[in-house]
Chains A and B, each alone.
Chain A
Amino acid sequence: EVQLVESGGALVQPGGSLRLSCAASGFALSSYEMNWVRQAPGKGLEWVSYISSDGSTIHYADSVRGRFTISRDNAKNSLYLEMNSLRAEDTAVYYCARGWRSYDYWGQGTLVTVSS
């Protein structure tokens, strides 16, 4: 069974940093592109970042470029999102999602709250 499990969400002050993780099981992470997608409370979905299967190609949304860093460790079946200079508008549930352009499996999400 394919599973994606996010962790690392927390309450953090504006300007702070956080690292999210996504543990994959039930499939070979090394064969798939991966993404982070977020959802602010009561709002819609926003794509955040993409990483190719081997990590050689990375893309970011304009809203996070220069502050967030996506990475992966295929040997550990894990995906990461390093978030710096966090702002109130980054408050959201962050999902990891498998796929190139449409996303066939999603994790349950981890909540990041940016507030003083």
Chain B
Amino acid sequence: EVVMTQSPATLSVSPGERATLSCRASQDVSRNLAWYQQKPGQAPRLLIYAASIRATGIPARFSGSGSGTEFTLTISSLQSEDFAVYYCQQYYNWPPCTFGQGTKLEIK
């Protein structure tokens, strides 16, 4: 099973600033990686798939990069609605797909 490790666990950023979230896979997953956003009491929402493709309706301020074992989600200019928990997911070595433990993005 591929273990996904996200860092940092909590990230404090001011509105309008850039946020950079990291995700590392325990083995090569090529570009088979997705990012999700989850707000309290809500279901996860798909942001990015195939490492860098934005899902339908996702603003351009969200971008994904990386391949192999190292991945990054960047939010270029944080809006108030972006403060949430973010999860990465690998689906290269599937089943099972596996999720990271999450990064909480909080207001500084």
Contact = CB atoms under 8 A, between A and B. Distances in A.
Interface of A: 44-47, 50, 59-62, 95, 101-104, 106-109
B94 A101 contact: yes
24 contacts: A44-B87, A44-B99, A44-B101, A45-B44, A45-B89, A46-B99, A47-B95, A47-B96, A47-B97, A47-B98, A47-B99, A50-B95, A59-B96, A61-B95, A61-B96, A101-B34, A102-B46, A102-B89, A103-B34, A103-B36, A104-B46, A106-B43, A107-B43, A108-B43
A62 B96 CA distance: 9
Q: How large is the interface on B (under 10, 10 to 19, 20 to 34, 35 or more residues)?
A: 20 to 34
A44 B95 contact: no
B49 A45 contact: no
B66 to A, nearest CB: 15
B107 interface: no
Interface in B67-108: 87, 89, 91, 94-102
B18 interface: no
Contacts of A101: 32, 34, 91, 94, 97
Given A44-B99, A102-B89, 8 more contacts: A45-B99, A47-B99, A61-B96, A101-B34, A102-B50, A102-B91, A103-B44, A103-B46
Contacts of B61: none
B45 interface: yes
Nearest to B89: A102
Nearest to A98: B46
Contacts of B34: 101-103
